[in-house]
Amino acid sequence: MNENLFASFTTPMMMGVPIVVLIIIFPSILFPSPNRLINNRLATVQQWLIQLVSKHMLSIHNYKGQTWALMLMSLILFIGSTNLLGLLPHSFTPTTQLSMNLGMAIPLWAGTVVMGFRHKTKASLAHFLPQGTPLPLIPMLVIIETISLFIQPVALAVRLTANITAGHLLIHLIGGATLVLMNINPVTALITFIILILLTILELAVALIQAYVFTLLVSLYLHDNT
């Protein structure tokens, strides 16, 4: 193992030039915009997928919430594609960086909260107190609810970062174990390799699920506040 475990998580540079922006922008070219009625297969499948996901995700919202459709769809597409691309060897995943996830989570969460306070002030404030709490518990509960509200963006960002980073690390470690075991005991290496394959399948799922969860939670916050 020439490189340490953190090598894959550093800002990617190419001959001293940070290309992280290019890497973040890269997934967008994988989604061609359909400019005809009948497109090629890639565009057709993507179109169908986006229609399916948006229909399910936006069905719970009212009109005000549905104005966020573009935001939510692009969010899920970006996170999903970035996570999936990160599984390829020697690739950099922007979503492993807490900075980027915070940059996604905080504005979106803050947007929903501000919107809620603007349009439904009383209802937004009422969220701080669940129904049916006994009277002596109210002050404590308000504090707890406030804390839970402010933890939401942090939780969103950290959840995504931790999951993806943990997945990458695991793959790295088990790959390393396979590599080392190849010389000692190839059979064990094979078992480890099978574990690696299973893990990869899991990571594929996790990549998609995390994207979904992120978007779903934002959508939930939106639903509460519209």
Nearest-approach distance from CB 91 to another protein, in angstroms: 10
Q: Which of residues 112-171 bind another protein (CB under 8 A)?
A: 171
Nearest-approach distance from CB 74 to another protein, in angstroms: 22
Three state DSSP letters for 72-137: HHHHHHHHHHHHHHHCCCCCCCHHHCHHHHHHHHHHHHHHHHHHHHHHCHHHHHHCCCCCCCCHHH
How many whole angstroms separate alpha carbon 127 and alpha carbon 141?
11
Residue closer to another protein, measured from CB, 49 or 114: 49
Residue closer to another protein, measured from CB, 155 or 173: 173
Burial of 158 (0-12, 13-18, 19+ CB in 10 A): middle
Q: Which of 110, 101, 93, 220 is nearest to 168 (CA)?
A: 93
Question: Encoding tokens for residue 176?
Answer: 């390393």
How many whole angstroms separate alpha carbon 7 and alpha carbon 1?
11
Nearest-approach distance from CB 89 to another protein, in angstroms: 3
Q: How far is CA 123 from the centre of its chain?
A: 28
Is residue 179 at the binding interface for another protein, with CB under 8 A as the rule? yes
Point out which span in 19-27, 68-76, 81-89, 157-165 binds another protein (CB under 8 A). 81-89
Residue closer to another protein, measured from CB, 115 or 171: 171
Residue closer to another protein, measured from CB, 38 or 135: 38
**β-strand partners of 189:** none
Three-state DSSP at 17 gives strand
For residues 213 and 103, the answer to whether their CB atoms sit within 8 Å is no
Nearest-approach distance from CB 168 to another protein, in angstroms: 9
> Pick from 6, 15, 17, 90: which binds another protein (CB under 8 A)?
90
Is residue 12 at the binding interface for another protein, with CB under 8 A as the rule? no
Residue closer to another protein, measured from CB, 10 or 146: 10
Is residue 183 at the binding interface for another protein, with CB under 8 A as the rule? no
Nearest-approach distance from CB 55 to another protein, in angstroms: 15
Residues 6+ apart with CB under 8 A from 186: none
Site map 33..52 versus another protein, x via CB under 8 A: --xxxxxxxx-xx--x----
The contact set with another protein (CB under 8 A) reads 1-3, 8, 35-42, 44-45, 48, 87-90, 171-179, 193, 196-197, 199-201, 204
